[in-house]
């Protein structure tokens, strides 16, 4: 999804929305040496298994982790393992990959609305959409903030549905034990370079028992059980040893990354608390208490103000994202002309016209945060 077009004369981005941390040569070298010594480059090598174990330990709850090539494949594998067929209820307030994975798994995405004043899927809206064709709920922990798991589990149990979480934003983002990544029948994690913890490219499926993990591994390996047996349809979704090496080298940097992001978030929160027309994360009407994956502002000053603010920041070399705009249900591939998003999912539609995510990552310096704040204050001062 592309950022909003910058105003005429805009600078090249100087403060980016995200900027991936990459391990040093010293951190990465031992893992590359192990790859060189073993000559094992892919096909579930020892570094993949080591990273799986390390991630499962960090998530907690006795979970199991299956590493795959990217977050979209993680979602597809989770849907296949959950036995999803027919309709899968999801949110339109997410990245397009969530709905695309449902379609690639051979199912139809059905879009529920989000909680009033929040960002995550609304359990009451989900329940209203359940039909005999519904097989699963695919909810998203938007910006890393957990969904109402208790309410969604109750809906899933009443109707015999699978409960899958898109936890793309979540790994390393919270302090809970077990992590939000342990919720649901399955959770799918993205390890893309834009995420707080990454392996350049990659994804993971979190499951609750070893037999299910083995099945997910099989689905991601062409469905093969052995050279002579393929009991189900699979795909090539395997992670390479090189990507696992980056992930392992990055693991020890999570706490530092979280700490640096919290400093930037506190700079924003302190300086912008009194600005009319903004709702900050953690304030009334916004459930996020500790934004470290993203810092979503709700710009409520009037129609078009959010987009003008994005242009204003871009003209000063600052990238901010209208995340998520448009809604997935507004894209041609998923649009239903008979049920426009502004009516069928009015809360999600409103949020997509309000939210602007500010830059937040561990490569930002304190003066970068101050520069973003000054640009925001100048905009609202000029706008009156």
Q: Are residues 233 and 258 in the same domain?
A: no
Q: The domain containing residue 279 runs over which residues? A: 254-320+359-383
Q: Are residues 245 and 259 in the same domain?
A: no
Q: CATH number, domain at 88?
A: 3.40.640.10
Q: Are residues 225 and 269 in the same domain?
A: no
Last residue of a domain, one of 229, 251, 273: 251
Q: Are residues 39 and 115 in the same domain?
A: yes
- Rounded Cα gap, residues 168 and 158, in angstroms: 27
Q: Are residues 300 and 204 in the same domain?
A: no
**Tell me: the pLDDT tens digits for 336-375?**
999 999 999 999 999 999 999 999 999 999 999 999 999 9
Q: Are residues 120 and 216 in the same domain?
A: yes
**Tell me: the pLDDT tens digits for 294-338?**
999 999 999 999 999 999 999 999 999 999 999 999 999 999 999
Overall domain count for the chain: 2
Q: Are residues 271 and 299 in the same domain?
A: yes
The pLDDT of residue 289 is: 54
Q: How many alpha carbons lie under 13 Å from residue 194 in its C-beta half-sphere?
A: 12
Q: CATH number, domain at 366?
A: 3.90.1150.10
Asked whether residue 231 is assigned to any structural domain, the reply reads yes
- Rounded Cα gap, residues 294 and 273, in angstroms: 17
Last residue of a domain, one of 227, 251, 275: 251
The pLDDT of residue 375 is: 96
The pLDDT of residue 252 is: 87
The pLDDT of residue 274 is: 84
Q: Are residues 144 and 201 in the same domain?
A: yes
- Rounded Cα gap, residues 345 and 343, in angstroms: 6
The pLDDT of residue 217 is: 97
The pLDDT of residue 291 is: 65
Mean pLDDT by 10 residues, the chain (384 residues): 42 81 94 97 96 96 97 98 98 98 98 95 98 98 93 98 97 79 97 95 97 97 93 95 98 92 92 90 56 91 95 96 97 94 96 97 94 95 79
Residue 145 in 3-state DSSP?
Answer: coil
The pLDDT of residue 336 is: 93
Alpha-carbon separation of residue 12 from 5, 258, 311, 312, 315 (angstroms): 12, 27, 13, 13, 8
Q: Are residues 313 and 231 in the same domain?
A: no
The pLDDT of residue 99 is: 98
Asked whether residue 373 is assigned to any structural domain, the reply reads yes
> Which residues lie closer than 8 Å to 219 by C-beta, 6 or more apart?
77, 80, 81, 232, 233, 234, 235, 237
The pLDDT of residue 7 is: 43
Last residue of a domain, one of 236, 251, 266: 251
Asked whether residue 13 is assigned to any structural domain, the reply reads no
Q: Are residues 157 and 242 in the same domain?
A: yes
Asked whether residue 202 is assigned to any structural domain, the reply reads yes
Q: Are residues 189 and 291 in the same domain?
A: no
The pLDDT of residue 172 is: 86
């Amino acid at each position: 999804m592309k950022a909003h077009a910058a105003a005429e004369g805009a600078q090249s981005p100087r403060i980016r929305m995200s900027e991936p941390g990459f391990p040093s040569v010293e951190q990465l070298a031992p893992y590359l040496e192990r790859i060189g010594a073993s000559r094992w480059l892919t096909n579930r090598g020892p570094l993949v298994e080591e990273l799986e174990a390390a991630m499962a330990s960090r998530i907690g709850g006795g979970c199991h982790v299956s590493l795959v090539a990217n977050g979209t494949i993680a979602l597809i594998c989770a849907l296949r393992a959950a036995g999803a067929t027919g309709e899968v209820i999801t949110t339109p307030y997410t990245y397009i990959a969530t709905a695309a994975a449902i379609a690639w798994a051979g199912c139809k995405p059905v879009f529920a609305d989000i909680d009033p004043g929040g960002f995550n899927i609304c359990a009451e809206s989900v329940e209203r959409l359940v039909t005999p064709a519904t097989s699963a709920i695919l909810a998203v922990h938007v910006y890393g903030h957990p969904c109402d798991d208790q309410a969604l589990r109750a809906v899933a149990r009443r109707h015999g549905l699978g409960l899958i979480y898109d936890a793309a934003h979540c790994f390393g983002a919270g302090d809970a034990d077990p992590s939000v990544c342990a919720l649901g029948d399955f959770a799918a994690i993205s390890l893309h370079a834009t995420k707080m913890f990454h392996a350049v490219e990659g994804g993971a499926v979190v499951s609750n028992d070893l037999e299910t993990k083995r099945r997910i591994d099989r689905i991601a390996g062409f469905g093969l059980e052995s050279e002579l047996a393929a009991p189900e349809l699979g795909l090539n979704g395997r992670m390479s040893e090189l990507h696992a090496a980056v992930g392992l080298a990055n693991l020890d940097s999570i706490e530092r990354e979280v700490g640096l992001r919290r400093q930037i978030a506190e700079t924003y929160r302190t300086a912008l608390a009194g600005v009319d027309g903004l709702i900050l994360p953690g304030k009334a009407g916004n459930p996020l208490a500790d934004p470290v994956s993203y810092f979503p502002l709700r710009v409520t000053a009037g129609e078009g103000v959010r987009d003008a603010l994005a242009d204003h920041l871009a003209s000063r070399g600052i990238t901010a994202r209208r995340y998520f705009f448009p809604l997935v249900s507004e894209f041609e591939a998923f649009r239903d002309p008979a049920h426009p998003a502004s009516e069928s999912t009015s809360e999600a539609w409103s949020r997509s016209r309000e939210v602007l995510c500010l830059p937040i990552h561990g490569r930002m310096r304190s003066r970068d945060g101050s520069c973003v704040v000054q640009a925001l204050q100048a905009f609202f001062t000029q706008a009156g």
